[in-house]
Amino acid sequence: MSAISHEPLGFATTSLAPARTAWPPDRSIVVAAAKGDRRAMAELLTEAHPRVLSFLRGMGLRREAAEDVSADVAEAVVKGIFRLRDPVAFEAWFWSVARNQLRSWFRSQRRARRNEQVMMAPATPEDWAIERDDHGRIRQAMAALSLNDRQLLWLREVEGLAYEELATRFGSSAATIRVACHRARQRLQVAYNALD
């Protein structure tokens, strides 16, 4: 049953009571969340949200857009977790949900005739200043890559997913993903060096 129980979360309004779980989450937490345990789901999302938000920001979305998409990701996770057959595969499944939501967002932006690069540009002079000082160079180098390269590099280098996990969710073999990651790293290096 996919229903989320309506019992109150129980944590105080001022702090987030669920204990910080390790990532990827424990199998028992995933199973409980899939059975509708609201507290377990809250723990999952609490741990997942900063990761998915940084992933979306790393893919070039502005903060507001990243928050919107991360909310969609959270909702998709709550709605779809009962379909997850193997709790061990939660992390790979979770990132595929995030990638799908990101792809949907880009598609909607294209429909709205808005350029992906424009969306990635800082919105205000303050943002420009922050990005220039705060990892501005790697941001620019990442912006020069394709979305697929960016996703591969982020999930592999930042989130630390195994090639096999990436392969199952990218619909390729582990060897293909390994090669694709290698080429993406090379392209990032080239783009990074070109900024000198």
Partner 1 sequence: MTDWRYSQPLAELRALGRTLRTETSAADTERLVRQALDRVAVRHVPRKRALALVLASLMSTSSVAVGMAADEAAPGDLLFAVDRTLEMVSDLWGPGDHTLERLLEAETLMAAGDYRNALNAVGQAVAPHDSALAVQIVTASHEIAGSPPSPALAQYVESMLVGAIAVSEAARTGDQTALKEALAAMHAASQARHDDSGGEQSQGSPTTAVASDMAETSAANPSVTAPGQNKDPAEGNGNLGQGDANPSVTTPGQVEGEGNHGSNGNGGNGNGKP
Cβ at position 2, least distance to partner 1 in Å: 6
Residue whose CB is less far from partner 1, 71 or 174: 71
Residues 120 and 106 sit within 8 Å (Cβ to Cβ): no
Q: How many residues does the chain have?
A: 196
Residue whose CB is less far from partner 1, 5 or 88: 5
Cβ at position 110, least distance to partner 1 in Å: 24
Give the DSSP per-residue string, 82-116: GG-S-GGGHHHHHHHHHHHHHHHHHHHHHHTT--H
Cβ at position 32, least distance to partner 1 in Å: 14
Residues 149 and 188 sit within 8 Å (Cβ to Cβ): yes
Residues 122 and 132 sit within 8 Å (Cβ to Cβ): no
Q: What region, left, alpha or beta, does residue 37 occupy, with left being phi > 0 and alpha being psi -120 to 50 degrees?
A: beta
Residue whose CB is less far from partner 1, 83 or 113: 83
SS3 for 92?
Answer: helix
Cβ at position 184, least distance to partner 1 in Å: 10
Q: Locate 29 and state its tokens.
A: 């937490």
Residue whose CB is less far from partner 1, 15 or 112: 15
Cβ at position 133, least distance to partner 1 in Å: 11
Residue whose CB is less far from partner 1, 157 or 164: 157
* Secondary structure letter of residue 154 according to DSSP: I
Query: Under the rule (CB under 8 A), what is the footprint of partner 1?
Result: 2-4, 6, 9, 15-16, 38, 41-42, 45-46, 49-51, 53-55, 57-58, 67, 70-71, 74-75, 77-79, 134-135, 137-139, 141-142, 153-154, 157-159, 185-186, 188-189, 191-192
Question: H helices then E strands: how many in the chain?
Answer: 10, 0
Q: Locate 143 and state its tokens.
A: 């912006």
